[in-house]
Chains A and B, each alone.
Chain A
Amino acid sequence: MDTVKIGKYVFKSRLMVGTGKYPSNEIMVKALEASGADLVTVAVRRVNLDRSKESLLDHIDLKKYRLLPNTAACYTADDAIRTARLAREALDTDLIKLEVIGDEKTLFPDNEALLEAAKVLVKEGFTVMPYSNDDPIMAKKLEDAGCAAVMPLAAPIGSGLGIRNPYNIRIILETVKVPIIVDAGVGTASDAAIAMELGCDGLLMNTAIASAKDPVAMARAMNLATEAGRLAFTSGRIPRKLYATASSPLSGLIE
Chain B
Amino acid sequence: MKIKLNGEIKELPDGATIEALLESLSIKAQGIAVEVNREIVPKRLFGASTLNEGDAVEIVRMVGGG
Contact = CB atoms under 8 A, between A and B. Distances in A.
Interface in A209-223: 210
B27 interface: yes
Contacts of B59: 46-47
Given A87-B33, A90-B60, A91-B31, A53 B66 contact: no
Most chain A CB inside 10 Å of its own CB: which residue of B8, B25, B33: B33
B5 A42 contact: no
Contact of A20 (B33, B38, B64): B64
B27 A47 contact: yes
Interface string A86-97: 110111000000
Interface string B27-38: 100111101001
> Which residue, A21, A56, A205, has most C-beta atoms of chain B within 10 A?
A56
B65 A18 contact: yes
Contacts of A91: 31, 62
* Size range of the chain B interface in the assembly: 20 to 34
Contacts of B63: 20, 42-45, 56
B60 A57 contact: no
Interface in B1-16: 5-8
B5 A49 contact: yes
Interface in A226-252: none
A47 B7 contact: no
A161 B62 CA distance: 28
A42 B64 contact: yes
A43 B33 contact: no
Given A57-B31, A86-B35, A90-B33, A47 B40 contact: no
Interface in A7-63: 18-22, 28, 41-47, 49, 52-53, 55-57
Interface stretch (A65-73, A120-128, A167-175, A190-198): A65-73
A207 B6 contact: no
Given A49-B6, A49-B25, A86-B40, A44 B66 contact: no
A: contact size bracket: 35 or more
B66 A157 contact: yes
A133 interface: no
Given A18-B65, A53-B26, A91-B31, 13 more contacts: A21-B66, A22-B64, A45-B61, A46-B7, A46-B60, A47-B32, A56-B61, A57-B31, A70-B65, A86-B35, A86-B40, A89-B33, A91-B62
Q: Which 4 A-B pairs have the closest CB atoms?
A: A43-B65, A206-B66, A18-B66, A90-B33
Interface of B: 5-8, 25-27, 30-33, 35, 38, 40, 42-43, 58-66
17 contacts: A19-B64, A20-B63, A21-B64, A28-B64, A44-B60, A44-B63, A45-B60, A45-B61, A46-B6, A46-B7, A46-B58, A49-B8, A55-B31, A57-B61, A86-B33, A90-B31, A91-B31
